[in-house]
Structure 1
Amino acid sequence: MPAHSHSHGPETGAALPADPAVTARRRRAVRLMLVVLVPIGLATLVGLGLLWPGGEKTAAQQAAESFLPPGTTYPEATIATLETFQCAEATGNAPAQTCGTAVMVIADGESAGDYVQVEVPPEVIAEGVRVGDELVLNRDPGVDTGQATYAFQDFPRSTPIIVLALAFTLVVGAVARLRGLLALLGLGFAFVVLLQFMLPALLEGSSPIWVSLVGSSAIMFVVLYLAHGFSARTTTALLGTLFGLALSALLGSLAVAAAKLTGFASEDTVQLLQFDPTLDFSGLVLAATVVAGLGILNDVTITQSSAVWQLHEAAPTAGWRELFGRGMSIGRDHIASTIYTIVFAYAGAALPLLLLFDLYERPFWTVLTGSVIGEEVVRTLVGGIALVLAVPVTTLIGALVATVSTVTTAAAEPAAERTEEELAAERRHSRSRWSPAPATPW
């Protein structure tokens, strides 16, 4: 965790007042960086206005309506009776499969209280369902026939998800306190941008690269300042994050074209192709690359920015080269651990797919460069390059702004007004913040 900006004196243990010179330097540093950030922020707002989706239904949405009958709902229902029967003989190493027929009571919706008969597939019976359990059904209103039909849809998961979400919020609030809760609020804003802007704009056929860049930029502007406050440290991290996003978009566009990634590596994209074949599926791979790097870029840049500014507070007279060198010492350790995070996060998410490839006994290189794994490999490598390069860029920005603001402050003060006594007091104040507390006698 970054150190606090205050310290305790060795005698009283009371917090020392904030140094006005340090506060002035931070304000000047923020002004310097705003010269760059304000145009980017204005461009983001313009981009949101130009790319914001209209209210008309897209071709994909219209096709999806024909795929699912209008008025389809998903009520929960309770099993009243359940009869099981063998629906498939055992073949080879596969055991016999058991299916079921359940009479269920609808719990909500316009058919609440009605009894309906539903066929229960073998994978649901294998989970040990019994009378009294609840399931989620698919209700087709039967517009053409006038008779509603029901089918098994899924297991209800509202209770465990809500309990886990509440537990997560409580843990974050207890440990990270207000900053953690503000981060959760920022996460909510990110989902609003994703669901209300980015996804509809992509379905409308807008440029995936511009939609992802504008949406990601808007998210980072709000999330970083909301969670970490408006400060030179946060502004430094934001500049580094925006650099990483732009680099991800540039490298991603080159890599997607060079690797000839079509975007049809999963059943989901094939289904999307049936809804709207005019979508830019290669561009969707690129947009996913940019969005996937948001969280980890935020983590790395805010850590590097905090490290540089804390080093600057500990040694206000250090030059930018020294700050950069010490900051990169921290950054290299962070890069090493982040590389493992990226790779193992994907391996965990794609574990069933990796098991299938292992069963197929295909050559390792064929699997690695195939469309399914190859798309993720390219996305991971592009994100990794942007992530690693964001570390020195963020560190350099922080070091330069910190030292330039120090020089600006010193130059703005007449030399005659800074007596030897004031300089000595400032040096003593700086040393006292980092000197160890006196040993306790036993």
Structure 2
Amino acid sequence: MPVSHAHSHSLHGPSPLGPLAAKIVVGLLIAIGVVVLTGAAWLWPSQQKVNIPLPYQNAAGGAVSTEAGHVLSSSAATCGDQTVGTVITTQPNPAGGPDAVCVHSLIAIDSGPNRGANTLLEFGVGPGQPKLMVGDHIRITRQVDPTGLTTYSFYDYERKWPLTAIAAAFALVVVAVAGWRGLRALVGILVAFIVLVVFMLPALRDGSAAIPVALVASAVILYAE
């Protein structure tokens, strides 16, 4: 009479490591961690100053300062008004007529040393020119020349709050769909961003070798996650 043999197969995940294998793995992780920390200390950026690219320099060669502002009015006007870009405290009177081929936007300065005052921005008409509407929130550059005269110019639309809202909505969707895994993934993204900004890019800027920097940065991200 044939004898039947029952075989049971466990499908509950990988088998646990034995005591010796576990000690070897832990020892390797500790050794690699020490090497990574040593490499990070060796490659840590020196915080040396670098030349600011010309598009981002002010008149004195320093970094461009931007301030917050919002549009009070916008109307057609003749080009070349002497008050464009200056700090003004009175309502300007734009000259109209057939020569009014430019657009003057009166901007309220919402931050910086001239907060509460206004400035006047001038734009041409055509492709690539910003079309400011009343109530738009924008960023304006502040330049101070050697004589102390402050001038302003258009920099960009204010994007901080829209981008913050998009990031918050993205995080909520990820957590709602993936739960704790999604939250851990977001933390991993944040850690990777910090390592990239604080260590990797400054180290490459300092002239460190790209491969060691990349290896150390990726290892730090893996350990953090």
TM superposition score normalised by structure 2:
0.71
Deviation at 1:116, TM superposition (A): 0.6
**CA distance in 1: counterparts of 2:106 and 2:209, whole angstroms:** 49
Match of 2:30 in 1: 38
Match of 1:217 in 2: 219
**Counterparts in 2 of 1:193 and 1:64: CA distance versus 1, 3 Å:** same
Deviation at 1:191, TM superposition (A): 1.3
Q: What count of residue pairs does the alignment treat as equivalent?
A: 188
Q: Deviations over 1:361-392 (max 9, x none)?
A: xxxxxxxxxxxxxxxxxxxxxxxxxxxxxxxx
Structure 1 residue runs of 5 or longer lacking an equivalent are 1-18, 88-97, 224-442
Match of 1:201 in 2: 203
Instruction: Confirm or deny that 1:113 pairs with 2:116.
Output: yes
Deviation at 1:27, TM superposition (A): 6.3
Listed as ranges, the matches of 1:121-132 within 5 Å are: 122=126, 123-125=128-130, 128-132=131-135
1:138 to 141, 145, 166: 141
Deviation at 1:41, TM superposition (A): 2.3
Deviation at 1:195, TM superposition (A): 1.0
**CA distance in 1: counterparts of 2:22 and 2:75, whole angstroms:** 70
**Counterparts in 2 of 1:124 and 1:39: CA distance versus 1, 3 Å:** same
Deviation at 1:140, TM superposition (A): 1.0
- Counterpart AA for 1:191: F
Deviation at 1:99, TM superposition (A): 4.8
Instruction: Confirm or deny that 1:81 pairs with 2:73.
Output: yes
Match of 2:178 in 1: 176
**CA distance in 1: counterparts of 2:164 and 2:157, whole angstroms:** 15
Match of 1:162 in 2: 164
Q: Contact 2:65 / 2:142 at 8 angstroms: preserved in 1?
A: yes
Match of 1:101 in 2: 104
**Counterparts in 2 of 1:145 and 1:22: CA distance versus 1, 3 Å:** same
Instruction: Confirm or deny that 1:25 pairs with 2:6.
Output: no
**More helix by percentage:** 1
Deviation at 1:32, TM superposition (A): 4.7
Q: Deviations over 1:122-148 (max 9, x none)?
A: 4244xx432222221111132x12111
**More strand by percentage:** 2
- Counterpart AA for 1:204: D
Listed as ranges, the matches of 1:223-372 within 5 Å are: 223=225
**Counterparts in 2 of 1:79 and 1:31: CA distance versus 1, 3 Å:** same
**CA distance in 2: counterparts of 1:131 and 1:170, whole angstroms:** 33
2:188 to 173, 186, 189: 186
- Counterpart AA for 2:112: G
Match of 2:92 in 1: none
Deviation at 1:78, TM superposition (A): 1.4
SS for the counterpart of 1:167 is helix
- Counterpart AA for 1:220: L
Instruction: Confirm or deny that 1:47 pairs with 2:39.
Output: yes
Q: Contact 1:136 / 1:155 at 8 angstroms: preserved in 2?
A: yes
Deviation at 1:164, TM superposition (A): 1.0
SS for the counterpart of 1:75 is strand
Q: Deviations over 1:207-230 (max 9, x none)?
A: 12211121122112212xxxxxxx
**CA distance in 2: counterparts of 1:37 and 1:99, whole angstroms:** 66
Cα RMSD after superposing both structures: 3.0
**CA distance in 1: counterparts of 2:129 and 2:170, whole angstroms:** 29
2:153 to 136, 142, 151: 151
**Counterparts in 2 of 1:138 and 1:85: CA distance versus 1, 3 Å:** same
- Counterpart AA for 1:83: S
The percent of aligned pairs where both chains have the same amino acid is 32
**CA distance in 2: counterparts of 1:166 and 1:77, whole angstroms:** 24
Deviation at 1:120, TM superposition (A): 3.0
Deviation at 1:31, TM superposition (A): 4.4
Q: Deviations over 1:238-286 (max 9, x none)?
A: xxxxxxxxxxxxxxxxxxxxxxxxxxxxxxxxxxxxxxxxxxxxxxxxx
Deviation at 1:48, TM superposition (A): 0.2
SS for the counterpart of 1:77 is strand
**CA distance in 1: counterparts of 2:211 and 2:169, whole angstroms:** 36
Match of 2:86 in 1: none
Q: Contact 2:57 / 2:63 at 8 angstroms: preserved in 1?
A: no
SS for the counterpart of 1:109 is coil
Q: Contact 1:71 / 1:140 at 8 angstroms: preserved in 2?
A: no
**Counterparts in 2 of 1:35 and 1:111: CA distance versus 1, 3 Å:** same
